[in-house]
Chains A and B, each alone.
Chain A
Amino acid sequence: MLFWQMAWRNVWRYRRRSVLTVLTIALGLSFDILMRGIGDGFHEQMVDNSVRAGIGHIEIHRSGYQRDPALLKTLPDLPLLERLVPRTPHLRGYSFRVLGDGLASTAENSTGVRIIGIVPGAERSVTTIDRAVIAGEFLDDRMSRPALIGERLSQSLGAQLNDKIVLMVQAADGSMGAQLFRVAGIFRSGSPDLDRSVVYLLRRDAQALLSLGDGVSEAALLLDSSQMVDDARRFLTGRLAGAPVEVLPWYVVQPFLRQFIELDDDFFYIIVLILFIVISVGILNTVMMSVFERVREFGVMMALGTRPRQVVRLVMQESAVLALLGAVLGAGLGSASTMLFAYTGIDLSGYSAGASALGLTTTVSYPELTARNLISSDLSVVLVVLLVALYPAVKAAGLRPVEAIRHV
């Protein structure tokens, strides 16, 4: 306890230097916390945008569908899945869909399209596509063969609201299917791919067009957050063991998104590493000066019987005081700044083209403050300070008392 008292008072012996050191640690740490928050918020938003654009947090297909998405690979034992999926933990919504490819034609043009057959109410619970409608309205079960198409597809086909389009497909039974649909709505999702190539139909119309009977291609599940994916996935795989289905999290369905996030994290860690090196140099300077200014004191301590490891302990305790003060202040500043930006948002509208390419359909990013980030940032900075302080501490412990006492 006496050593802790000495450590605390030694820190405040050189008040200005210690305050500057604590501020250096605190500012570095708060920057780290804010940057982690911005990164996490940005990534979560990218995931959320992709998830809400259609893939959901989890997709369930017949086994092998992800690798080879053939029309005939419809979900097995649909009644079981329809009973099981609603019981999934952390579930916010789910949609059983039909997926197929075809050719959309108008009198003027034709283009290849992705056909997605949906139940409107269920789809609303998973995606935000109903809110992206810019003309007409979202699909409704009461409509007769409606189609919801993207704005770019509408332009390329020259199809306006209420115009007719013909969808031609190779049906599941091998026949060529063709049906006339009326454009009930046009959407602008912000995702160029979606806006250019997707046609939403009522699920029953898609099943008829593709000769699928009651078959569906996939179930898409939306959870409370992407953090819940593994938990929900465990629940489903546990209960579907042996069934010929694959339960895929978003990062398997869209691996490039995960790769981008990992790459972005790697860049961030490099920045943090540089930041910590800068902090380390400051700490090293402070602790070295503090040790060299007290050589005679360490000599006296050792002459009185202080063991070298106790000298190391004292210097480390002084560094720990600096680190902990910096950690507390930095956590406060970092949390406050992250919460401020989480409230106001960070405007990315100047980078909307790039943001859209990264899967962001919104132009405001909201940083996230998480306990995990706070704890890992704090622990990292405390660890770095203690590691850096080890060198001067060992130097102090290695002093020869007879020389140290004579030190001027």
Chain B
Amino acid sequence: MAQIEVVGVSKTYRNHVAVHALTDVNLTIAKGELVAAVGPSGSGKTTLLNLIGAIDRPDSGVIRIAGLEITSAPAGQLADFRLQHLGFVFQSFNLFPVLSVLENLEFVPALRGTPKRERVQRAERLLADVGMTDLRDKRPDELSGGQQQRVAVLRAILSEPDVVLADEPTANLDSENAALLLDMMERLNRERAITFLFSTHDPAVMSRARRLIRLRDGRIMGDEARES
């Protein structure tokens, strides 16, 4: 069964001129896939992630995540949907600066109402699993960009969402840190069967994906499976 199902989705931004960000996009992604949406700037990668991430709405078409249709859900339900089913990794890390690494990891489970002791245990286990226990009490401004982005990935997967969406996750990282991050994402994807969909135009990142969806001018121009 498809984890993500995008059917006939279009999105146009209207400011001074109309920009067709996505036009009649159809796409299915199965559980546990590691997919990269690739293409040049303005090709519609971020728009696709925003729509699948339920933080924006398409003008037409339907999107289903884990069998739930999100395009017609009221705005109030979308927050709950994101909380229960999705994890996000942003280009600029976007950890909460006033919280420590451990507290940043606790944030989503806390929103879900997970008891304090349980969420701390889970966060500590995950940190230990990826060898980052020593960063536990550090604030984001005490971490390197690579460390911050790895914490952001951990934050996204700690509550074991159905899908993790990562928008240009390596854009602000040097090649060494980008490689470390991708190693971690690959490992988490393999071990936990979490579906990853990330956007990129970085060839190093593309090489790690097991499926590439090529976008240009808001349309899917290619969809190819790759050997990992």
Contacts and interface: CB of A to CB of B under 8 A. Distances in A.
B48 to A, nearest CB: 12
B135 interface: no
Interface stretch (A16-24, A41-49, A302-310, A369-377): A302-310
Contacts of B103: 2, 5
Given A6-B98, A9-B98, A405-B90, A306 B55 contact: no
Nearest to A9: B98
30 contacts: A1-B116, A2-B99, A2-B107, A2-B110, A5-B98, A5-B99, A5-B103, A6-B96, A6-B99, A296-B94, A297-B97, A300-B88, A301-B96, A302-B79, A303-B53, A303-B82, A304-B82, A304-B155, A305-B79, A305-B82, A305-B83, A305-B84, A305-B86, A306-B83, A306-B111, A307-B76, A307-B79, A308-B76, A402-B55, A405-B90
A401 interface: yes
A2 B99 CA distance: 9
Nearest to B57: A402
Contacts of A301: 96
Interface string B73-98: 00010011011101010101010111
B12 to A, nearest CB: 14
A402 B50 contact: yes
A2 B106 contact: yes
Contact of B55 (A2, A6, A308, A401): A401
B33 interface: no
Given A5-B103, A305-B79, 17 more contacts: A2-B103, A2-B107, A5-B99, A6-B98, A10-B98, A296-B92, A300-B96, A302-B79, A304-B155, A305-B108, A306-B79, A306-B83, A401-B55, A402-B50, A405-B55, A405-B90, A405-B94
A394 B32 CA distance: 38
Given A300-B90, A303-B53, A401-B55, A308 B96 contact: no
Contacts of A302: 55, 79
B124 interface: no
A305 B94 contact: no
Interface string B119-160: 000000000000000000000000000000000000100000
A205 B19 CA distance: 107
Interface in A17-42: none
A44 B111 CA distance: 54
B56 interface: yes
B111 A305 contact: yes
A395 interface: no
Nearest to A3: B110
Interface in A362-404: 400-402
A13 interface: yes
Interface residues of A, number: 23
B135 to A, nearest CB: 18
A297 B108 contact: no
Interface of A: 1-2, 5-6, 9-10, 13, 296-297, 300-308, 310, 400-402, 405
A4 to B, nearest CB: 11
Contacts of B53: 303
Contacts of B80: 305, 307
B88 to A, nearest CB: 5
A120 B80 CA distance: 82
A401 B94 CA distance: 13
Contacts of A300: 88, 90, 94, 96
A351 B46 CA distance: 75
Interface of B: 50, 53, 55-56, 76, 79-80, 82-84, 86, 88, 90, 92, 94, 96-99, 103, 106-108, 110-112, 116, 155
Contacts of B116: 1
Contacts of B111: 304-306, 310
10 tightest A-B CB contacts, nearest first: A305-B83, A9-B98, A401-B55, A402-B56, A305-B82, A300-B94, A402-B55, A2-B110, A307-B79, A402-B50
B55 A297 contact: no
B119 to A, nearest CB: 9
Nearest to A401: B55
B68 to A, nearest CB: 14
Contacts of B92: 296
Contacts of A13: 97-98
Nearest to A302: B79
A404 to B, nearest CB: 9
B55 A304 contact: no
In this complex, the member of B53, B79, B83, B88 whose beta carbon has the largest number of chain A beta carbons within 10 angstroms is B79
Nearest to A12: B98
In this complex, the member of A10, A304, A401 whose beta carbon has the largest number of chain B beta carbons within 10 angstroms is A304
A400 B53 CA distance: 13
Contacts of B56: 400, 402
Nearest to A305: B83
A303 B80 CA distance: 10
A346 B124 CA distance: 63
A276 B42 CA distance: 51
Contacts of A296: 92, 94
B219 to A, nearest CB: 21
A401 B92 CA distance: 15
A303 B108 contact: no
B143 to A, nearest CB: 16
Contacts of A402: 50, 55-56
A43 to B, nearest CB: 48
A402 to B, nearest CB: 4
B88 A304 contact: yes
Contacts of B98: 5-6, 9-10, 13
In this complex, the member of A5, A300, A301, A305 whose beta carbon has the largest number of chain B beta carbons within 10 angstroms is A305
Given A2-B103, A5-B103, A308 B79 contact: yes
